[in-house]
Amino acid sequence: MLRGIRGATTVESNNSEEILRVTEALIADMAKQNDVSPEQISSVIVSMTHDLNATFPAKAIRSIDGWKYVPVMCTQEIPVPGSMEKCIRIMMNVETMKRQDEVEHIYHERARQLRPDLTN
């Protein structure tokens, strides 16, 4: 079964090193909490808010050992007035036998506010 795993995090500034660090931490946590290996991943879509442009967050994902061939695409989040700033969101599409209610969606930093109903 193909399932989507959501994740989001925030950074303090539009800084390449920080964007790469938090992106790698988020994707690693998403994979770990859902027991997902790179071979199970169909694709990863990463979006960033309009105030982040220092680097492509996909660079962090592709640098993880074993993730070189995982298809990753970056895009810009819709700039809705009043929405969370400096936010990185991830949609990881995976093959899993988990039911939708068993999937662990991961939210770090200020992004926990986005889905408090899914945050432990």
Q: Does 23 reside within a domain?
A: yes
Q: Does the residue 34 lie in any domain? A: yes
- Is 110 considered catalytic here? no
Q: What is the DSSP string of 13-26?
A: SS-HHHHHHHHHHH
Asked about 74 being catalytic, the answer comes back as yes
Judge whether 19 lies within some domain: yes
Residue 97, in any domain of the structure: yes
Q: How confident is the model at residue 120 (pLDDT cuts 50, 70, 90)?
A: low
| Domain-located, residue 119 | no
- Average pLDDT, stretch 17-43? 97
Does 78 map to a domain?
yes
Q: What stretches of the chain show up as alpha helix (H) in DSSP?
A: 16-33, 58-62
| pTM metric for this prediction | 0.92
To the query of whether residue 62 is one of the catalytic residues in this protein, the response is yes
Domain membership flag for residue 43: yes
- CATH number of 18's domain: 3.30.1330.40
Please check whether residue 118 lies inside any domain of the structure.
no
Q: Report pLDDT digits (tens) over 75-95.
A: 999 999 999 999 999 999 999
**CA-CA distance, 33 to 93, in Å (whole number)?**
14
**52's tokens:** 């982040």
Provide the residue range defining the domain that includes 46: 2-113
The count of residues in the chain is: 120
Query: Is 87 in the active site?
Result: no
Q: Which of 18, 21, 62, 110 is catalytic?
A: 62
Predicted confidence at residue 116, as pLDDT, reads 75
pLDDT, averaged across the chain: 94
CA 106/CA 90 separation, integer angstroms: 9
Does the annotation count 89 as an active-site position? yes
* Domains contained in the chain, number: 1
Note the pLDDT tens digit of each residue in 32-63: 999 999 999 999 999 999 999 999 999 999 99
Cβ atoms of 63 and 89 within 8 Å: the answer is no
